[in-house]
Structure 1
Amino acid sequence: MIPRGFCGLTSMRRLHGFRAHMDGDWCSLDELGPLSQLKLLKVIQLESVSSASFAAKARLGEKIHLIDLFLHCTSKLGDYWFGKEYEGISQAEQQRIAEVFDELCPPPSVENLHIEGYFGHQLPSWMISTLTVPLHNLKTLYFSDLACCTQLPNGLCQLPYLHLLQVCNAPCIRRVETGFLQAATTPFPRLNNLSLIGLVEWEEWEWEEQVEAMPHLDELFLYNCRLRRVPLGLASNARALKKLIIQDIQHLSYLENFPLIVYLTLLGSPDLERITNFPNLQKLTITDCPKLNVLESVPALNMLVLEDYTMEELPEYMRDIKPRHFQLFCRLWLLCSVATGQSSIEWDKFSHVEHVKAYAYDDMNKRMWYVMYTRSDNFEIDSNISRSSIFKEKLYLLLW
């Protein structure tokens, strides 16, 4: 704790870990009021603030030099951030924390804002309103552990300099509605990095094809949700999008018609079946997507990385694509089949690739096996797997 009298340090520029403690003789939010020179402020344990009147005494809106602001509550999600809605927060608590945060409206000078552990039903009013959002200099915005929040605020899309937005662990958001993008002439005019992580119940993203938004979005990361389809508006209007990472998304069955994406990474998407029409795609990484059976219209593909330790044969789509480089991580049984070269049933799926590197691990012997292949070297295979090893592996699997 910090003893009272802290407000006398009026020349302070950076203050980390200020506890919003309200008991006894310790420092509380009113001690922040006179600290007008602050450039960085991190306030923690805001759940301890019993009334909005205490938050008002911090006079955040008057700190015209403030650039970096961190507003933290102790997370209500705990180890259950990837689960369902947290049920231990009363409506009265939600209302109280919302009123406290409403009084913590930042000054227009703030460029970097972190809000963590907030458990109100809606985000602060100074974010929701499309007319009074004061954060017109904001460049980066992070939300984390929003236990009860049900929607993203509409006011963010009009921030003229926002270039990075990350939302992490918001289990009550089920839809991202049209209002998220329709409160400005060009929504998110400079946003180039968007991450939506741990929205575990999120199923629908409303973005119609005719709604122009995010013209400078360069990188998009979607992780751990139930999104059934990527909206048409994203493919049509995010004209600068070069990098797309999709991880642990349930129910997503296809990706198609992204004209400018260069790097695509797919991790643990169990229902993905089809990828088509990525004319500028150069590097594709696929990990644990067992239903993927269609990969087509990727003429610029230079590197394919495939990692799957359960598949028993190379996918059929390998016959129809022509990457220059192919990197494979698989079970030892499949690697042994690849190692037999032209006599392998897999030969027609990789022989046309210029460079192949394939790896497997032997759990019994703790050894890494490899197969190397270069098409220009007269189709020769380089491997540390001997023919006897291949025979033993086949025999072991048959007996097992």
Structure 2
Amino acid sequence: REIDMLKDIGVQILAKCDGLPLAVKVMGGLLCQKDKIHREWEMVLSDSIWSISGMPEELNHALYLSYEDLSSSAKQCFLLYSLLPKTAVFFRDEIIGMWISEGFLHGTLDDLEELGSKYYKELILRNLIEPDAEFIDQSVCNMHDVVRSFAQFVARDEALAAHSGETNIVSKLSAQKLLRFSLEEKALESDVLDWSSLQAQKTLRTLILVGHINIKPRDSLVHFPCLRTLHIAFSHVVALLESLHELKHLRYLSLEHTDISILPDSIGKMKFLQYISLRGCHQFVDLPRSIVKLGQLRHLNFSGTSINNIPRGFCVLTNLRALRGFPARVDGDWCSLEELGPLSFLEDLEFDGLENITDSSSAAKAKLGDKVHLTSLFLNCGSILEDDGLIKEEDCVSEEKQQQIEKVFEELCPPPRLENLDIKGYFGRWLPRWMMSSSAVALKSLRILFITDLACCKQLPDGLCQLPYLEFIQINRAPAIKRVGPEFTQSYHQHSPRPSQMVAAFPRLEKIKLIGMVEWEEWEWEEQVQAFPVLQELMLKQCKLKCLPPGLASQARALNTLYIYNVQGLISLENFPSLVLLELDENLDLERITNLPRLQELTILNCTKLKVLEGVPALHRLVLSYNDMETIPEYMKGINPRHLELYCSLALLVSIAAGQSGSEWDKFGHVEHVKAYAREGGNSRKWYVFYTAKPYSLETNVSHSFMLKGRNLDFF
């Protein structure tokens, strides 16, 4: 009965959303936060906000309701998020760092990041921000334009978000005293905003600038005494460094992708600094000794810099939660791995240049296993692989060097709480024991694994299949691997004599990408071996795999998305009952695709030997593109996609444009919608034909005389 009542109220709430998809999503997110009881939903339905008339366009009723339901702290976090420049990428830890710096998070000093993560997840659950699918683990989100406009309208009295192309930025800055200002600048340097235009904003607490701004030699930060958050990216900022220490209240300093090479020694005076990011500052080489005076530092990011000096005494920064791009060194007057030992609160740690460590005892003194809060670990060596994925001749490593790096990685065994592991450039012959077999218990909480440029290992880690929470694997470039054997999918549980005790390998893995394993020829996985029960997405790219293993089709019953790019030797693809989306590119030996009963979307690019495509009754959309396609493939006569998109030669396009009188009609005339293109120069859609079966319609920009001549242009 209660469920029926909720359903009735839900339908009435849905009606108030006026059919707007975003409003429906936001209301769904709001209702998810409520208890599933009649009274809670009734309060949402009867809220007075629905009846407000004459609201500005930005104040969408559903958004207003969801916003008002947030706690006061979450409201502030949401409004600040809306100021972030739209096309720039901001990671979760950056955003949470801003929230902490602004004082929006009210908790103990030990749990601020955790509290920030809670608010971040709440905004996702309410559909106020949306995870970007390109980034794993929701580390980057986007904000819908309507949501952004709403939030900026609400914050309009104290915040301004501007972007290049606006003509009245300076006048707005002159007319209003702001607490927060952001600017995304893409204009030419002659058209950009002058730094001096900002100097009247003496009450600013947050300043976010992405893109070039005109900073002159005598420009200064002295005009912003209240500033807590300063984020400048992709600009020239060296002139401002001399006055940096004037920002007495600054908590958050991010100068990403700028031209700085050092930080001034006076930074040691900035006692409140909690967050410093110099990510992508390629010229940055030196950290001043005074850095060790910043006892409140929680986050340091040197990723993508050329830093070669971190001063001794770094171990006193015991409040650090995140340390990225830490350079591994053994000689000279700088900080060693040993000084990381006391940093027990670290949650996120990245090492660079681990090939420089000659003594494994130095790695042991970093005490990774004791860092019980550590959830993300990045272990980086310099790559010895060429662009083609093979080892550089001049970088062939000695057996001694391989043994050395093996011992170093062995000592960097993480604590059991680790969730994200990223390994780059490892050139040992064997992966560390803590990734293999029963020793992989050290990774029992692992959810995400990246391994890039695995130069010399001949075997993938055989302990992964036992991990209970592993969701994502990406192996990128592993030229020594020629075979993936049964040890990859054979869980030790499966040796149990009783079938009822058999446990599927990789029980929670949803996505796996195997890229650039250029010598990989064989994948052994027998049909009866249970593995990958919830696998949804698989990518195979740049390898020599001659056939897909029987176990993949029979056991990966949730597999709905398959990408196969540049796989040499693969002849057939068949019998995948759950596949919905399939993309193929540069598979030059592929001849057959059969028995994919649920397939809806199929993209075939440059698979020139493909002759058989059948058993695809649910096919909705087919994209075909060959560089020199002269005829539509014969298999089109036997299939009936609703939409067909072709990229072909101009000669073929002329035949298609002829419609029923053309030689290709019997291959496409039965398709409901057809879009065909041929290119000229760099324009892949210069010439086109648009066809609809019912009612009959054929539109083209290929002229009648052009069709009569059957002209074939040499430049095509």
1:388 alignment partner in structure 2: 705
1: CA distance, partners of 2:615 / 2:666: 19
In the TM superposition, what are the counterparts of 1:303-314 in structure 2 within 5 Å? 303-314=621-632
Question: Offset at 1:49?
Answer: 0.2
The structure-2 alpha-carbon separation of the partners of 1:18 and 1:395, relative to structure 1 and needing over 3 Å to count, comes to closer
User: Any idea what SS the aligned residue of 1:130 has?
Assistant: helix
1:315 alignment partner in structure 2: 633
In the TM superposition, what are the counterparts of 1:1-400 in structure 2 within 5 Å? 1-81=309-389, 88-184=396-492, 185-363=503-681, 368-378=686-696, 380-394=697-711
Amino acid aligned to 1:209: E
2: CA distance, partners of 1:396 / 1:243: 38
Does the CA contact (< 8 Å) of 1:244 and 1:263 recur in 2? yes
Indicate the larger mover: 238-247 or 87-96: 87-96
2: CA distance, partners of 1:313 / 1:196: 34
Does the CA contact (< 8 Å) of 1:29 and 1:57 recur in 2? yes
Does the CA contact (< 8 Å) of 2:565 and 2:586 recur in 1? yes
The C-alpha deviation readout for 1:306-337, integer Å capped at 9, x for no partner, is 01121210000000000000011111111111
2: CA distance, partners of 1:395 / 1:38: 65
The structure-2 alpha-carbon separation of the partners of 1:182 and 1:171, relative to structure 1 and needing over 3 Å to count, comes to same
The C-alpha deviation readout for 1:257-304, integer Å capped at 9, x for no partner, is 000000000011000000000000000000000000000010000100
Amino acid aligned to 1:165: I
Does the CA contact (< 8 Å) of 1:149 and 1:172 recur in 2? yes
Does the CA contact (< 8 Å) of 1:258 and 1:278 recur in 2? yes
User: Any idea what SS the aligned residue of 1:326 has?
Assistant: strand
Amino acid aligned to 2:476: C
Question: Offset at 1:85?
Answer: 8.8
2: CA distance, partners of 1:205 / 1:177: 6
Question: Offset at 1:83?
Answer: 6.7
More strand by share: 1
1: CA distance, partners of 2:525 / 2:475: 18
The share of aligned pairs that are identical, in percent, is 56
Amino acid aligned to 1:350: F
The C-alpha deviation readout for 1:96-143, integer Å capped at 9, x for no partner, is 100100000000111001000000011111111324531110000000
The C-alpha deviation readout for 1:236-272, integer Å capped at 9, x for no partner, is 0001100000000000000000000000000110000
2: CA distance, partners of 1:276 / 1:84: 41
Identify the structure with bigger relative contact order (alpha carbons < 8 Å, sequence gap 6+): 1
Indicate the larger mover: 218-227 or 181-190: 181-190
1: CA distance, partners of 2:621 / 2:390: 33
The structure-2 alpha-carbon separation of the partners of 1:286 and 1:207, relative to structure 1 and needing over 3 Å to count, comes to same
Indicate the larger mover: 305-314 or 128-137: 128-137
Does the CA contact (< 8 Å) of 2:384 and 2:395 recur in 1? no
Normalised by the size of structure 1, how large is the TM-score? 0.96
Structure 1 residue ranges, 4+ long, deviating more than 4 angstroms after superposition: 82-87, 364-367
Does the CA contact (< 8 Å) of 1:253 and 1:273 recur in 2? yes
1: CA distance, partners of 2:391 / 2:602: 30
Amino acid aligned to 1:152: L
Does the CA contact (< 8 Å) of 1:128 and 1:153 recur in 2? yes
Amino acid aligned to 2:664: E
Indicate the larger mover: 164-173 or 176-185: 176-185
The C-alpha deviation readout for 1:183-207, integer Å capped at 9, x for no partner, is 2432100000000000000000000
2: CA distance, partners of 1:148 / 1:53: 23
The structure-2 alpha-carbon separation of the partners of 1:148 and 1:366, relative to structure 1 and needing over 3 Å to count, comes to closer
Question: Offset at 1:377?
Answer: 2.0
Does the CA contact (< 8 Å) of 2:406 and 2:430 recur in 1? yes
The structure-2 alpha-carbon separation of the partners of 1:364 and 1:140, relative to structure 1 and needing over 3 Å to count, comes to closer
The structure-2 alpha-carbon separation of the partners of 1:365 and 1:188, relative to structure 1 and needing over 3 Å to count, comes to closer
1: CA distance, partners of 2:651 / 2:513: 37
Unpaired runs of 5+ in structure 1? none
CA RMSD of the aligned region, Å? 1.7
Does the CA contact (< 8 Å) of 1:84 and 1:171 recur in 2? no
User: Any idea what SS the aligned residue of 1:133 has?
Assistant: helix
- Aligned residues, how many? 397
Amino acid aligned to 1:214: F
The structure-2 alpha-carbon separation of the partners of 1:365 and 1:388, relative to structure 1 and needing over 3 Å to count, comes to farther
User: Any idea what SS the aligned residue of 2:422 has?
Assistant: strand
2: CA distance, partners of 1:8 / 1:84: 41
The structure-2 alpha-carbon separation of the partners of 1:60 and 1:320, relative to structure 1 and needing over 3 Å to count, comes to same
2: CA distance, partners of 1:83 / 1:54: 28
Question: Offset at 1:86?
Answer: 8.4
1: CA distance, partners of 2:608 / 2:389: 26
User: Any idea what SS the aligned residue of 2:438 has?
Assistant: coil
Indicate the larger mover: 212-221 or 73-82: 73-82
2: CA distance, partners of 1:343 / 1:250: 39
The structure-2 alpha-carbon separation of the partners of 1:289 and 1:137, relative to structure 1 and needing over 3 Å to count, comes to same
1: CA distance, partners of 2:393 / 2:710: 48
Look at both structures and tell me which one has the larger radius of gyration over its CA atoms. Answer: 2
Amino acid aligned to 2:581: Y
